[in-house]
Amino acid sequence: MVEDVEEAANDLLAADHDFAAAHVLLAQVDFARDRHREVVSRLAPIAARHPTYVAAQLLLGRAAEKLGDLPIAYAAYRAIAARVPLAFERTGALHTRALEITANRVEEALRAGDLAGAEAQLARLREWGPAEELTFEAARQVAVARRDPKSELAAVERLAARRPGDRRLAERRAELELEVGDPGKGLEIVQELARRNPGDAALAAKLEAAKFRWRLSLLPPGVQATADQPELTRAQLAVLLYWLVPEVRHARPASGRIATDVLDHPQREELVRAVNLGLLDVDPRVHKVFPGGRVTRGTALRALWRTLWLFEREHPCVAGGGADPPASALCDRAAACGLLDDAAAECRANAPLSGAEAVELIRRSLLVLGSA
């Protein structure tokens, strides 16, 4: 009997390879022979093309359950749950475990470096459990892998609402609010954490950083946009130095260095101030500062060291360092003043510099200057 069904189904497929009913007949034959993997392979594309085909979805769900692939079974039952009581029952029974397995697959894909695969599994979670905590956690993980702080903030905000006592989440939300969200909200979160933990030195430091970032949010939009740049130009570094360091903004340079390529530049005022204070070098051969040139971390550290030397050379970490220490000593001097936590690990003098990194270096410099 089974052989007759198989032969008839193959005859039908010979005439029309896409005949869905014939594929279901062959899948039933495979199921009867305990060939459940073949059932899934055959019916998965049929179910995708015909989501309301009850016979295909029911058989696919049963075979996937036999294999232990509960997400496939759950998806099959879910597609027809509104029409078939058995499918509705199995959907309810499998819901929690199917979502857990899918969330685990997000993590597995990310560990394997398969971002597209992780995003596909996340899409399933969002369809099946849009308000589930594990969906928000998976979304957070994918956002981190994608380096998408706005999406990470959206996920962390929902997770923090579910876990009000989770300090790690609260701190991360504050960081993200300050970086890409509502700086006022970020400051409020850190203030509350500091209030609850009055003796916590790490939180006290984070509170000072949050206050600084909040003050940055009050500056002109162009300055805020500069602070968000993934890589800074020399002109953009001059903008941040001018607007974030009061000593730079209010100083009256004694020298009159000439840079011919800043005269018509949109950031002329900021560039002229940085050049005349000697914070940025001018090529003496062509009298240019090259405003559009990429800023390296080494360039920024040198500009900030010169700022410290110019305005606070009596500070213990600055005194004796000289106006322009050699490149080999610059990172150690910056670390001695707290601009870097670890000179060897964080210097990376030739690496590009983001706006966020520049803002943090400037904030630390202001602690030395007493202007934070």
- Global pTM reads 0.76
The 10s digit of each residue's pLDDT in 69-110 is: 999 999 999 999 999 999 999 999 999 999 999 999 999 999
CA distances (Å), 238 to each of 35, 241, 277, 284, 314, in order?
Answer: 69, 5, 11, 19, 24
Write a three-state SS string for 333-357. Answer: HHHHCCCCCCHHHHCCCCCECCHHH
Alpha-carbon gap, residue 372 to 369, rounded angstroms: 8
CA distance 172 to 141: 13
pLDDT of residue 11: 62
Q: What are the residue boundaries of the structural domains of the chain, listed by start?
A: 2-83, 157-218, 221-369
Better-predicted residue by pLDDT, 11 or 293: 293
- Whose CA is closest to 267, among 297, 299, 289? 289
Find the range with the poorest average confidence among 156-165, 317-326, 355-364.
317-326
Mean pLDDT of 54-66: 97
Range with the poorest average pLDDT among 106-110, 168-172, 296-300, 342-346:
342-346
Q: Are 317 and 274 in contact (CB under 8 A)?
A: no
Report yes or no: 80 and 52 within 8 Å, Cβ to Cβ. yes
**In this structure, how many other beta carbons lie within 10 angstroms of the beta carbon of residue 367?**
15
Instruction: Give the pLDDT confidence of 278-330 residue by residue, as tens digits.
Output: 999 998 889 899 999 999 999 999 999 999 999 998 999 999 888 889 988 99
On the question of pLDDT at 158 being above 90, the answer is: yes
Locate 24 and state its tokens. Answer: 């279901």
Domain spanning 2-83, CATH architecture: Alpha Horseshoe (1.25)
Instruction: Give the per-residue pLDDT at 372.
Output: 62
For position 260, what pLDDT does the model report? Answer: 86
Q: Which region among 111-115, 137-141, 260-264 has the lowest average model confidence (pLDDT)?
A: 260-264
Cα–Cα distance for residue pair 94/78, rounded to 1 Å: 10
Residue 5 CA, chain-centre distance (Å), reads 54
Contact criterion met (CB below 8 Å) for 249 and 265: no
CA distance 108 to 152: 19
